[in-house]
Amino acid sequence: MVTKLTKWKVLFPYLDDYSRSLILADFEKELERPHQTLKKYIEELVDENVLNVEGQGKHRKYRLNTDFSLILHYLSIAEKLRSYEFMEEETLVKRLYEKVTPFMSEARFLIFGSYAVNREGEDIDLLILGKQSDELRKRLEEFGETYLPVHKVHVKGKDGLDRRFKKELHKKHIILNGTDYFVTMFGEMYGEFGVV
């Protein structure tokens, strides 16, 4: 699936590490688009105060502007787009999403680990934050019997996760719901971000 480039997609390289400092070649490599195309969108994000520029000329580096009051909103929109594109390509995750949809008012769901990055593995790692019912457990077991087993990590809230695990979640994840919640949680790890 060839997707249209937008300023939101240009933020994708930051979604797994908010502290990254990227040069134009980094965007080109990760987004697989020519730098001539990317430059317009990068400059748009600079003009909107989303990205800060360090250096000059060929040595320009771009970082998220952590002082920008809407930075977490921008990241949240980019996360939603990435999740949507992931589910459009990965029908297995789309089926899992459909299984957990009835429980989204009671819990937040995030896929993490290798399956979230390269779609490989013998199971799907699923973080569940909030209430987990017998019906949810049953649906996930049915999904595992038909497709791939679901390895569940269930905690009541983000306070039940230690910092090291949160960092691992941030490196490899696809958010199924509660995007603002997770983006804020990841932002808090850097100690610089405001609240969405």
Average pLDDT of the chain is 92
Using one digit for the tens of pLDDT, what is the confidence trace for 165-180? 999 999 999 999 999 9
Q: What is the pLDDT of residue 193?
A: 62
Distance CA 107, CA 132 (A): 7
Residues of the chain with CATH 3.30.460: 88-190
Q: Which residue has the tokens 């990227």?
A: 22
Q: What is the dihedral of CA 178, 183, 186, 189, to 10 degrees?
A: -120
CATH class of 88-190: alpha beta
Pick one of 3.50.50.60, 1.10.10.10, 1.10.468.10, 2.60.40.1480 as the CATH number of 7-64: 1.10.10.10
Question: Which residues have a Cβ under 8 Å from the Cβ of 18 and sit 6 or more positions away?
Answer: 64, 66, 75, 186, 187, 190, 193
Question: What pLDDT is stored for residue 58 in this prediction?
Answer: 75
Q: How confident is the model at residue 59 (pLDDT cuts 50, 70, 90)?
A: confident
For residue 119, the model assigns a pLDDT of 76
Asked if 169 and 79 touch (Cβ cutoff 8 Å), the reply is no
For residue 111 the two structure tokens come to 């896929």
List, by residue range, all CATH 1.10.10.10 domains of the chain.
7-64
Confidence of residue 196 (pLDDT cuts 50, 70, 90): very low
Residue 195 confidence (pLDDT): 40
Average pLDDT over residues 98-126: 92
Average pLDDT over residues 43-71: 93
C-alpha angle with apex 87: 84 to 91, nearest 5 degrees?
160
Residues 6 or more apart in contact with residue 122 via CB below 8 angstroms? 148, 149
Please tell me what DSSP assigns to residue 13. Answer: G
Number of H helices, E strands in the chain: 9, 7
- When pLDDT is averaged across residues 125-136 and rounded to a whole number, the result is 94
Closest CA to 84 of 74, 94, 92: 94
Tell me how crowded residue 55 is: count the other CB atoms within 10 A of its CB.
11
Helix axes 91-100, 134-146, angle to 10 degrees: 160
**Which pLDDT value is given to residue 171?**
95
Tell me, yes or no, if the pTM score tops 0.95: no
Sheet of 21-22, strand order: 21-22, 61-64, 51-54
DSSP state of 50: S
The per-residue pLDDT for 125 is 96
